[in-house]
Amino acid sequence: MSQGKFGFADTPEWEQAAQDDVLVAEVVFNLPLEKPYTYAVPEGLRDLLRPGQRVRAPLGRSNRLVTGYCVGVAPGERGQRSLKELESLLDRDPLVDDAMLSLTRWIGERYLCGWGQVLDSVIPAGVRNKSGTREVQYFQLSEQALALLAGQEAGGRLSSQQRALLQSLQQSGQPMTAADLCAAVGCGPASLSGLRRKGLVVPMKLRSELDAEAGPLGQTEADLQMNDQQQQALEAILKPIREARHETLLLHGVTGSGKTEVYIQAIREVVSYGRQAIVLVPEISLTPQTIRRFRSRFGSVAVLHSHMSDTERHRQWQNIAAGGVQVVVGARSAVFAPVPHPGLIVIDEEHEPSFKQDSTPRYHAREVARRRCEEARVPLVLGSATPTLESWLRAARRQDRLVSMPQRVADRPLPPVLIVDVRTDPRISRGSSIGRALHQSISRALQERGQTILFLNLRGYSPVVWCRSCGTGVKCPACDITLTWHRDRQAVVCHSCGWTSDPPLACPACQSAAVRYLGAGTQKLDEEVSGLFPQARVLRMDSDSMNKPGSHDEALGRFRRGEVDILLGTQMIAKGLDFPNVTLVGVVDADTMLRQPDMRAAERTFQLIAQVAGRTGRGERSGRVLVQTTCPDDPAVRFAAKHDYIGFAGHELAERRDTQAPPFSCAARVIFRGLDERRTREAAIAVAERLRAACRGELQSVRVLGAAPAPIVRLRNFWRFHLQICAATVEQVRAVWQAVERTLELPEDVEFAVDVDPINSR
């Protein structure tokens, strides 16, 4: 240490201490890494940096600058002085609060992906890019200005423009933006800044135009008088709310039992405490009808859906974070809505597969909601007529509380479900989609002026383009998927990647001209039904016919007004629709679900039949359901016909227990993809071998299956291989994966993705 001119050390003692006291930041990047990186915080950022803000930091040997999220700031130790320094800070305020940091960290651990990847996915792009933010600032008059305008105070020197600004603000009677103010007076921004410096106008945060979007304030409809069953369900939910503790309640209520009214009245209580509620519904159910049910009851409801612009989403996000919204209704990602004081989360149609995200982070909104509610010590309500076996088992084990609503509102009966064995049906043998019994039932419904819903889970005209010579399906050139013939477009289409082409004149495999179209999609059904019932007004709803914004609602509106006799379509019409005049529901082909090579095929078939059956008998008129199948003895079909969820769940759980399949175990699927088949396969096999080697000691019971070709071995030109890690608990799965992941070396052109609790086996 050199001596200064006064004989003291150059740096005074107190400053020395301050320098030693290094500040370090933990930073995570959008990378599949489990651990945060540590950086030194440069002097200039010391007072500004907070967890939840984004930073630029040098990464790797090349020290290229990468954007990451600061997830922690702490005093460092002496040895850490050699750390790399943060380069810069990108945000003035944190983008997420501590609760969200903790939740996203948990998601990374639970779903085996990087914390930074989770943050990057959870924070909407619009929020990150600040699109449309140049925060609209509003100005209002200060107390001093009010006194001045009332002539009670002299005030300093004001220009005539400044005086005019104050007057127009007073006249408008409400806060105004800088732009509007200056325009009203015809002055530049300097005059306004002057007023601000003098403390005569004060900026304020206003929930800008959002109130209009959030719905009319104060014009809410009265709650319904609930029946005993609803009252009991409500009390069960209110109990943990009042005791300020977490509990997950599984609300098992048949279709039409009035679950929504129970949610609404539970939310009413939460809102009365000044807290906010989040209601998750499947994207497909986010219809104006659903939204109206909440908007008509609460003053401010925000809706989050997937086709919002970045700007719109950003404004909603800010408004929600400012506490300006009582109820957030949205699809999966609304589980992250930044409500400041969550009081309740509801997941309606809990069994819907769309609550699982199928890109990284592959979280399930139900589990994220459970965690969020645990941390906030508030209840989570899962509602369904056909709960997942995962939720059912938790309730059976009393980990969650079961609340049952076995009766429909007003004791309307559940409709009789008739299973029709079409194996010997003469019409079906001749290639028709509508068998004899269904044909008669439609005729009768038409005569009685009832409406009919026909459900078929295959869009297009013919789902299989097939070569009669060599017997192979004609596949998409980029995917291992047979093409579907769309007659209206005169084209064959790949339903995975959207590849479209003229129909093949010859089989690509054997060059034969014997290319045929097999099976029936919704388009062919439409044609057949229109031909069979020429007097009926038929409407088809699937993603092909409903591709214009608003067309979905318009179609449902026509059906509701009775302008349509027969509505036919894909699962788009199976969910949550509530039309009193539907007297017949036909499931055209129950086998399409049942034959899927998927562990959950039976569960999905049961759910589907129960859901579509729920679409009838909801009004004064009774209804019935016909299910066409070639597997009339299948347990899923049999239980569904009896509306016996409990019987089905018992049967299916016994089978899963015998095979130790989920929910009795936990699985993670690792999918590898690359453009080179051999390199991708070899990488997958090598990782599988290493994972197997890690299954020893305490992890001896963990099984690694594969690697094997994925069911769709080629998708969008990528080759796909997968493996599965199966264990008793998610902790074991994680331990095995992490033992290998740290030293994972893959060829540069092979990517992998980990899917914990996979529900998609493609």
Structure tokens at 352: 């819907």
Comparing CA positions, the residue from 54, 189, 33 lying closest to residue 127 is 54
Comparing CA positions, the residue from 269, 229, 268 lying closest to residue 252 is 229
Between 366 and 575, whose beta carbon lies closer to ligand ADP?
A: 575
Is there binding between residue 474 and Zn ion (CB under 5 A)? Answer: no
CA-derived radius of gyration, the chain: 31
Return the percent helix, strand and coil in the chain, to nearest 5: 35, 20, 40
Is there binding between residue 507 and Zn ion (CB under 5 A)? Answer: yes
**Min. distance of Cβ 461 from Zn ion in angstroms?**
17
Within residues 239-258, the interface with ligand ADP by CB under 6 A covers 253, 255-258
Binding partner at 496 among ligand ADP, Zn ion, none, C-beta below 5 to 8 Å by kind: Zn ion
Phi, psi of 724 (to 5 degrees): -130, 140
Is there binding between residue 713 and Zn ion (CB under 5 A)? Answer: no
Q: Out of 110, 252, 259, 351, name the contact with ligand ADP by CB under 6 A.
A: 259
> Containing H/E element for 318?
helix 310-321
User: In angstroms, rounded to a whole number, what is the distance separating the alpha carbons of residues 382 and 405?
Assistant: 13
**Min. distance of Cβ 749 from ligand ADP in angstroms?**
48
User: In angstroms, rounded to a whole number, what is the distance separating the alpha carbons of residues 376 and 102?
Assistant: 11
**Min. distance of Cβ 367 from ligand ADP in angstroms?**
23
Q: Which of the stretches 164-172, 226-234, 604-612, 640-648 binds ligand ADP when contact is defined by CB under 6 A? A: 226-234
**CB of 210 closer than 8 Å to CB of 392:** no
Q: Out of 283, 578, 644, 677, name the contact with ligand ADP by CB under 6 A.
A: 578
> Containing H/E element for 682?
helix 677-694
- How, if at all, do strands 88-89 and 624-629 pair? unpaired
**Min. distance of Cβ 577 from ligand ADP in angstroms?**
10
Between 486 and 615, whose beta carbon lies closer to ligand ADP?
A: 615
**Cα dihedral value 346, 348, 352, 353, nearest 10:** -20
Is there binding between residue 470 and Zn ion (CB under 5 A)? Answer: yes
DSSP 660: T
Between 409 and 532, whose beta carbon lies closer to ligand ADP?
A: 409
Q: Out of 496, 630, 760, 761, name the contact with Zn ion by CB under 5 A.
A: 496
Is there binding between residue 510 and Zn ion (CB under 5 A)? Answer: yes
Binding partner at 599 among Zn ion, ligand ADP, none, C-beta below 5 to 8 Å by kind: none
Is there binding between residue 290 and ligand ADP (CB under 6 A)? Answer: no
**Cα dihedral value 278, 283, 284, 289, nearest 10:** 40
Between 91 and 350, whose beta carbon lies closer to ligand ADP?
A: 350
Which whole-number Å values give the CA distances from 506 to 272, 443, 466, 479, 676, in the listed order? 68, 41, 11, 19, 28
Q: Which of the stretches 62-70, 120-128, 446-454, 496-504 binds Zn ion when contact is defined by CB under 5 A? A: 496-504
Q: Out of 180, 226, 238, 499, name the contact with Zn ion by CB under 5 A.
A: 499
**Min. distance of Cβ 712 from Zn ion in angstroms?**
9
Cα angle vertex 156, ends 155, 158, to 5°? 100
> Containing H/E element for 684?
helix 677-694
**Min. distance of Cβ 483 from Zn ion in angstroms?**
8
Is there binding between residue 712 and Zn ion (CB under 5 A)? Answer: no
Q: Which of the stretches 369-377, 472-480, 559-567, 693-701 binds Zn ion when contact is defined by CB under 5 A? A: 472-480
User: In angstroms, rounded to a whole number, what is the distance separating the alpha carbons of residues 54 and 95?
Assistant: 8
Between 47 and 411, whose beta carbon lies closer to ligand ADP?
A: 411
Q: How many residues bind ligand ADP (CB under 6 A)?
A: 15
Is there binding between residue 76 and ligand ADP (CB under 6 A)? Answer: no
**CB of 220 closer than 8 Å to CB of 305:** no
User: Can you state the angle between helices 645-658 and 389-396, rounded to 10 degrees?
Assistant: 90
Q: Which of the stretches 105-113, 224-232, 468-476, 666-674 binds Zn ion when contact is defined by CB under 5 A? A: 468-476
Please state whether 8 falls in left (phi above 0), alpha (psi between -120 and 50) or beta.
Answer: beta
User: In angstroms, rounded to a whole number, what is the distance separating the alpha carbons of residues 644 and 543?
Assistant: 31
Binding partner at 494 among Zn ion, ligand ADP, none, C-beta below 5 to 8 Å by kind: Zn ion
Q: Which residues pair with 473 in a beta bridge?
A: 466
**CB of 396 closer than 8 Å to CB of 646:** no
Is there binding between residue 479 and Zn ion (CB under 5 A)? Answer: yes
**Min. distance of Cβ 349 from ligand ADP in angstroms?**
9
- Cβ-Cβ contacts under 8 Å for 306 (sequence gap 6 or more): 283, 331, 333
Within residues 398-417, the interface with ligand ADP by CB under 6 A covers 409
Q: Out of 67, 229, 230, 432, name the contact with ligand ADP by CB under 6 A.
A: 230
Between 183 and 470, whose beta carbon lies closer to Zn ion?
A: 470
**Min. distance of Cβ 523 from ligand ADP in angstroms?**
30
Residues that bind ligand ADP (CB under 6 A): 224-227, 230, 253, 255-261, 409, 578
Residues that bind Zn ion (CB under 5 A): 467, 469-470, 476, 478-479, 494, 496-497, 499, 507, 509-510, 512
